[in-house]
Structure 1
């Protein structure tokens, strides 16, 4: 496989170009909005749907193709809305269904597609179904919608398995039966307030298809599916006492992750989405699955359109690791005819502007506190800008997390008393959790709550560093991270880099990554990321289109990435 000659002695073809008329989702850049932290129109300190609508022009000006919204459904908010009590209603915290309709309509007016979250692995314990299950008792049809089991031991006082919960502690909680006696146990792979659904139950399947139609009929363009690899559990419920979080080396060895039965569910959903015709509605899988060949099964032609490339997100800032990860991802997805979907940050992981400022020989922490070793902010931002420049040149789709276009760092000094991630409480503070990446946006330097809320209220405090990074402080400022993102997205769209073929340049040295992207019209773009101490020369005649940092005498310095036009 090759896309054409390169100005280097050695290169290898990794990926053939897509046709110029490929469907929109194959190269879309989609921006994640975390609703409670985007913009607060009501002044109560929590972002809402009218606030989102009021700030959509920012996304149009940024140059993304679509917006993905984390859950805004009715919920007791014990896990920031991922504990859904009603999938077909808006929580009053965020507004109303009319506000959702207005937001979707405004996004479409601006040329933005809308992707919403779907949370099918579990519901809130406040959901009407779960409350009915508690009242109905063992063996009832109501309990069959969830995963209830008798306990072990003569008195049933031991949990059915040794499985652990993602947020800490065991994955089973015992209930009190309607007659007041200790009873069965229910499974929750996350928090006890999030009981897992039983996806062998036809009522569960029918209800989620109703939910899909509900939002499709309101005009949404797709769904990001939460915990897409977790719906089906091994029916033998074998022992497995490993922690379920993050990427396992072989994910499907866990009896509740990446079980083969999930795929028939998604084939049915894909058929439903396809029945809506044009414009194409999509699904993106949040599937923490290894190896890459197993993840590729989710994006076969009759299942998901996209699946987040978490292997890329977890890759350390080392040239060989990046090269290997890109090769691995493209080969696996090409084998099923699917694009790769690149991502560096989201609402569940440390922001990459801080992550890349930590030593790369340690596992990624789940939160950083004031007493922990602090990221090198300057180093982290420089590497983050280079990593994003590399990512947005790769073929396929990409997701951008709110605020990363400003270079927002993790909040690494949140007081314990404001933390809301259930992980923090479930682990007695051992794991600080994800609040640090969920801090409200910075819109206006010097304004109350930096423009997030007119009253100055904010559900999490913003760190002092956010002030100089606000949208208005970076707009029109040459070299700012915001203007870098705008330039990257404009050049990416103009040169159709998301549809390009890709050759890896093999003579860049040990500490640099180099590619030649060949667009459907034959235009060639050189992509170089230098991770080493020595500067890297560009080939003669290369014209720089965009760079993540200043060049040194025409050469690419350390922790810098460049796109250049090749003759």
Structure 2
């Protein structure tokens, strides 16, 4: 087991964590797919960027129905990425660079190719093998109707019938059967998976669909089948989302993590109806942190952003947990394309990038930890013109080709302006698993490196200051009076103020001793629209 990097404890309360979508990060062998060796070659870049840890999307053996979120073997690495020995070397190398490693954990479902599910199909109705999953007889005279009216997140019914007549539950793709968390063997297996990877030196886990593990055993129909997270029901009453009993699972996981040195941690992907419900996941003795999706989904509007900050930090601080801020990930449209979207659906990329840069400085100045999604440090916009026949997200097929899915934020990174894959893989190798647009070279790492006006250098500067300034990271925030409703101004002690101007006119800088950083150039000493500034104060 490798030793985690030294730092203050617990490190996760204000860490900057970089999300690696491994298929799209760096391809070392020219097969068009990112891999562990490619990631290992770029650890210096990530260390220089100023992040503290890496969250790596699923690296386990998988048929790749849903980009690895259909796990066939938790104790093996996807062959396209490498093997367990490669993972162990990566963990050790990351630690040598001062970086912690947080792989994804997918506990709501397994792959239909997992040995357990193959055994369940072979064993038949009523067997112990089937009890590891959620199998039920169908409704109707011949049992040919699904057991409930539940819908899958990727579209279509959440049930698939097998040849012997029973149906199995899959809240996502049919290749992702849900496991039965009422089964003691399932609970024991996942605790053992935690130990397997903790023993190899990982520093924590990101918990996929953390809200979805426990199902109501009565399997009631939903009055509104489109409600997949419980927004229309009372707290804890949704049959498969955010049920109270899920916290018992996380309490048992916390006991496992606490047996290891170095403050091992969990971060929850929990889509829940309110910040109050989110706080339950990070209460003492449960998970450590949870993504703040209210902030991610907030429009570029000062009131919405301030409300997301206040409400979230209020509930989380009440249970002793830090906030965790995120603007982008592999499931949502990239920030420049969200913030630059016009009313007619077209995108003003320049406007979106300007707002995205300001939002990034805002995020880095907030109390708690933050996540950076690969390519966010380059200001990459969404790729909206992937050809239909190249789309890989299961949402595309499951929706009957009505929803294009998430591939636009997953296109392999441009490392160089030149080359057949913009440096993602060796020149002349296989084409990337998702096609890169011709304009990608303008956003390449080698183009932005050393350019004082680039988003990459802005992020490097922001993270360097975030690490060096005692006001930033964990702590308190005080809102200050602002020159108008469209401007946010807050103080972090000691001696730091952040201003974000969302108004249509330039505004005066707050009182200050020095300007520390700006998301864009000032205009005659004024802060232009859609610009953020950091200043030092006495």
**TM-score (normalizing by structure 1):** 0.91
Q: Determine if contact 1:62/1:485 at 8 Å carries over to the other structure.
A: yes
**Cα pair distance change 1:32/1:295, threshold 3 Å:** same
**Which one of the candidate residues 234, 242, 245 is aligned to 2:216?**
234
Counterpart position of 2:124: 137
Residues 246/404 of structure 1: CA separation in 2 closer, same or farther (3 Å cut):
farther
Q: Which position in structure 1 is the counterpart of 2:442? A: 468
| Aligned residue number for residue 364 of structure 1 | none
How does 1:258-337 map onto structure 2 within 5 Å?
258-276=242-260, 278-337=261-320
Structure 1 residue 499: Cα displacement:
1.8
**2:205, 2:14 → 1: CA distance?**
16
* CA deviation after TM superposition for structure 1 residue 153, in Å: 1.4
**Counterparts in 2 of 1:154 and 1:541: CA distance versus 1, 3 Å:** closer
Match of 1:225 among 207, 213, 223: 207
Q: 2:239 aligns with which of 255, 261, 276?
A: 255
Distance 1:352 1:274 in 2: 36
> Which residue of 42, 47, 63 corresponds with 2:50?
63
Are residues 1:54 and 2:54 paired?
no
Identify if the C-alpha distance between structure 1 residues 498 and 541 changes in structure 2 by more than 3 Å, giving closer, same or farther. Answer: closer
Q: Is the 8 A contact 2:511 2:537 kept in 1?
A: no
The 1:513–1:253 alpha-carbon spacing in structure 2 relative to 1, beyond 3 Å, is: farther
Equivalent in the alignment of 1:441: 413
Deviation at 1:244, TM superposition (A): 4.7
The corresponding residue for 1:396 is 368
Q: CA deviation at 1:429?
A: 1.3
Matches of 1:249 and 1:483 in 2, distance apart?
Answer: 44
Query: Residue 527 of structure 1 is aligned with which of 472, 479, 498?
Result: 498
Deviations 1:476-525 (A, max 9, x none): 1111000000000011111141123210114342101111011xxxx221
State which drifts further: 451-460 or 201-210: 451-460
More displaced stretch, 60-69 vs 490-499? 490-499
1:190 to 156, 165, 172: 172
Deviation at 1:300, TM superposition (A): 0.8
Give the Cα–Cα distance (whole angstroms) in 2 for the partners of residues 48 and 378 of structure 1. Answer: 32
Could you say if the C-alpha distance between residues 549 and 247 of structure 1 is closer, same or farther in structure 2, counting changes exceeding 3 Å? Answer: farther
4+ residue segments displaced more than 4 Å: 244-247, 249-253
Quick check: 2:9–2:263 contact (8 Å CA) kept in 1?
Answer: no
**Cα distance in 2, alignment partners of residues 566 and 154 from structure 1:** 75
Size of the alignment, in residue pairs? 527
Q: State the alpha-carbon separation in 2 of the partners of residues 68 and 566 from structure 1.
A: 35
Unaligned 5+ residue runs, structure 1?
Answer: 1-19, 178-182, 362-371
1:339 aligns with 2:311: no
Q: Compute the RMSD of aligned alpha carbons.
A: 1.5
Structure 2: gaps of 5 or more residues: 1-6
CA displacement at 1:468 relative to structure 2:
1.2
Asked whether the 8 Å contact 1:166–1:244 carries over to 2, the reply is no
Deviation, structure 1 residue 252: 4.2
SS in 2 for 1:492: helix
Is the Cα contact below 8 Å between 2:527 and 2:533 reproduced in 1? yes
Matched residue SS, 2:492: strand
* Cα pair 1:374 1:412 within 8 Å, conserved: no
